[in-house]
Structure 1
Amino acid sequence: MLGGGQLGRMFIQEALNYDVHVHCLDPDSDAPCKHLATSFQHGSLQDYDTVLQFGLDKDVVTVEIEHVNVQALHELEGRGIKVFPQPAVLAIVQDKGLQKEFYQKNGLPTADFRLISGKEELLAKNLPFPYVLKWRKGGYDGKGVQIIKSTTDLENLIDTPFLIEQLVPFTKELAVIVARNETGESVVYPTVECEFSPEINLVEFLFAPAEVSQEVEKEAREIALKVIQSLNMVGILAVEFFLTKENQLLINEIAPRPHNSGHHTIECCYTSQFEQHLRSIVNSPLGSTKLITPGVMINLLGEPGFEGIAKYENLENVIAKEGVSVHLYGKQTTKPFRKMGHVTIYGPDLEVLKSTGRSVAKELKIKA
């Protein structure tokens, strides 16, 4: 596995149940996977030789982050190593402009867009405000995404290729997880609703199932299936949507790996997204995606103003609550807005879960 963060950690926890040996490469010498992996290598995910040598003696190479050296993965694939998701898929996902062109080419709904070579061209275009600006490459977890409302917002931009999107007046942000194995078997998880923090553009709350019409649910599942099939991808894929006021679904972005919008599946579904990813890349039968119970997921982020050895305030009070599961990611130090863990609250009544979730979010704080 390229990457040794929390996604890799939760993947290994499932892989251990099947006696699958997972080896990790990560640039952080103290990454969350370090003490769980069969072996752990400290090294760059972007360096061609490091990635190539790491993968040469593996049966399957996969990723928990898409920002990796695709050329090395192409070489591994050419040498007969199974690489899932395939390097061609990762190349599309790494470039938001290529992503958009892929949707357009395959008749997949997405917001209107244009591609801009850099800051000089953007300023010369004098585009009407407001619009959404995204770096074509390198953006992650809200970094490299900005709503441009006036010329003031353009002053401190870095000079890089941009994707410019129409600002969509949406009513909900939704996500669908879909998986596919080598034989072409595909499964789809029920649609979830994501509530983002406007301050840092990260998921703050996730609600499963999403409160949408049967028609929207059916369409979201069909689009997600079409995306993974059009990519001919093997593995697990998160498809993020905007739902407009006219009940139209527009694809925002995709992620070809386990995703924040699937963490609730550990407690709430028959098969977690992490087990499903494992099943898909080793070409096993895929598991049931049915919800066992509604759920709410909360991201645990480092509190602003605190940096150092992590201290979890009110953790004991939270884990004493029925139907509350805390997942800490093994990160010893915290800093503002760092992802330190998540909490899943599950039970029969989604409205009660939402209320409990908001209470837990106020109570459980990560300081130093």
Structure 2
Amino acid sequence: MLSSRIGILGGGQLGLMLLQAAVDWNLDIHVLDPDPEAPCRKIASHFQQGSLQDYDTVYRFGKDLDVITIEIEKVNIEALEALEKEGKRVYPQPSVIRLIQDKRVQKQFYLDNELPTADFILTDNREDVAQHAEFLPAFHKLGRDGYDGRGVQRIATSADFEKAFDQPGLLEKAVPFEKELAVIVARNPSGELVTFPTVEMVFHPELNLVEYLFAPAEISPEIDTKAQEIAKRTAAAFKIVGLLAVELFLTKDGEILINEVAPRPHNSGHHTIRANATSQYEQHWRAILGLPLGSTNAYGPSAMVNLLGEDGYTGPAVYEGMEQLLATNQVFPFLYWKAITKPFRKMGHVTIMDDNMKDLKEKVDFVKKSIRIIS
């Protein structure tokens, strides 16, 4: 398995961290990405520029490879299906990516498999959304192509209907919740399944993307067990091979509801590179190559802070405050090889570790105040 020729569709920061993990095992990795300056470009032994959504490009990229995986869901499924039929090992499976690519189909999958999720209504356009004033407050989500907070609009009252997308989507009931949690599950072809510890995510109030997280989540053992079991059931229902990040709501009344899933390494697992015995990236390779899954034991409390481009700055990236971070014990910055910063662009992350949660939270505040990415 380790001698297989492996392809990654997508050369962004997730691909970069997959490559970094692959170096330890001398894996033969090929990367396809539309951006000639993608983060993977400078360290990938085999990099090809090309569209991830063009059938011919994806098919030609994969036809001489043994194993193909993704770091982004927006890829040409038909090409992956053709490659799978020809005997290529495509993980996650094209059938799984197809289910997850469209949030409308994804939500129906939860209902069909008796997996808990918030109430929702499928909508075809903006006019359709406006017929459901009694369902508010809710969130309108694009069926396809929403990513990192894009493709989601809060519809609190009928006055907000103009914000709804004029495309197929779903109107999801706004759930009063205590915390947003995530569990990353790994599953290999033999069905072996392992989870990482439950994390607690804190989202940016305006951008709807993770600003920082804590691991482990500060929840009761009973809630943790429930979150872990739901994540395992979800991965088993999809029969996924690889990683599945399961984002969850902990409601005010102690219920766990599935928000969304991602069939790949995920923002909620970045900290595992330093904080756990096996990182999510190494675990992904273990899973898709049919190897034994690694221990997910945590070395102690940890946190992850996303490094976002400062508002008002576009141009060559300048990282202010790096010396302060590097002078702080158990603070590990990871930068994504993105030469150009833009407002709120993900430019890197910082993993933070400590022996207790109180000191960890103080370090998170320090990191958030210490570093700025400007131009």
TM-score with structure 2 setting the length: 0.96
Deviations along 1:162-214, whole A, 9 cap, x unmatched? 11111100000000000001111110111000000111011111100001111
Match of 1:82 among 76, 83, 89: 89
Say if 2:363 is the partner of 1:356: yes
Flag as ranges the 4+ runs of structure 1 deviating above 6 A. none
**122-131 or 158-167, which moves further after superposition?**
122-131
Shift of 1:139: 0.2
State the one-letter code of the partner of 1:227: T
What is the one-letter code of the residue matched to 1:304? D
Matches within 5 A, 1:113-124: 113-124=120-131
How far did residue 124 of structure 1 move?
A: 3.6
- Which of residues 108, 111, 115 in structure 2 aligns to 1:104? 111
Asked if structure 2 preserves the Cα contact closer than 8 Å seen for 1:208 and 1:296, the reply is yes
Q: What's 1:340 paired with?
A: 347
Between 146-155 and 327-336, report the one with greater CA deviation. 146-155
- Structure-2 residue corresponding to 1:331: 338
Q: Secondary structure at the match of 2:290?
A: coil
Asked if 1:155 is matched to 2:162, the reply is yes
Structure 2 residue 258 is the aligned partner of structure 1 residue 242: no
Task: Give the counterpart letter for 2:262 in structure 1.
Answer: A
Stretches of structure 1 that go unaligned for 5 or more consecutive residues are none
The residue that corresponds to 1:285 in the other structure is: 292
In structure 1, the residue matched to 2:52 is 45
**Distance in 2 of aligned mates of 1:129 and 1:87:** 35
Cα distance in 2 for partners of 1:158, 1:166 equals: 16
Query: What residue in structure 2 maps to residue 202 of structure 1?
Result: 209
The answer to whether 1:23 aligns with 2:30 is: yes
2:258 corresponds to which letter in structure 1?
Answer: I
The letter of the residue matching 1:69 is: N
* Whole-Å separation in 2 of the counterparts to 1:56 and 1:295: 41
Q: Which among 142, 149, 152 is matched to residue 142 of structure 1?
A: 149
- Aligned equivalents of 1:131, 1:202: Cα separation in 2: 18
Is contact 1:133–1:163 with CA below 8 Å preserved after alignment?
Answer: yes
Percent of aligned positions that are identical: 53
Q: Residue 167 in 1 paired to residue 174 in 2?
A: yes
Residues 1:71 and 2:78 aligned together: yes
Matched, 1:183 2:190: yes
Structure 1 position 156, deviation (Å): 4.7
Residue in 1 that maps onto 2:5: none
The C-alpha deviation readout for 1:99-155, integer Å capped at 9, x for no partner, is 111111111110011101112222244444311110011100000111102333222
Deviates more, 1:67-76 or 1:128-137: 128-137
Q: Deviations over 1:248-303 (max 9, x none)?
A: 00000000000000011111100000000011000011000111121010000000
Aligned pairs, how many? 368
Distance in 2 separating the partners of 1:128 and 1:345: 41
Q: Aligned partner of 1:32: which letter?
A: P
Matches of 1:87 and 1:38, distance apart in 2: 26
Q: What one-letter code is carried by the residue in structure 2 that aligns with 1:335?
A: K
SS, match of residue 219 in structure 1: helix
- What is the root-mean-square deviation in Å for CA atoms of aligned residues? 1.0
Structure 2 CA distance, aligned partners of 1:57 and 1:112? 44
Q: Which amino acid aligns with 1:58?
A: L
Question: What is the TM-score when the length of structure 1 is the normalising length?
Answer: 0.98
Give 1:157 deviation, angstroms: 3.9
Question: Which of 187, 199, 208 lines up with 1:192 in the alignment?
Answer: 199
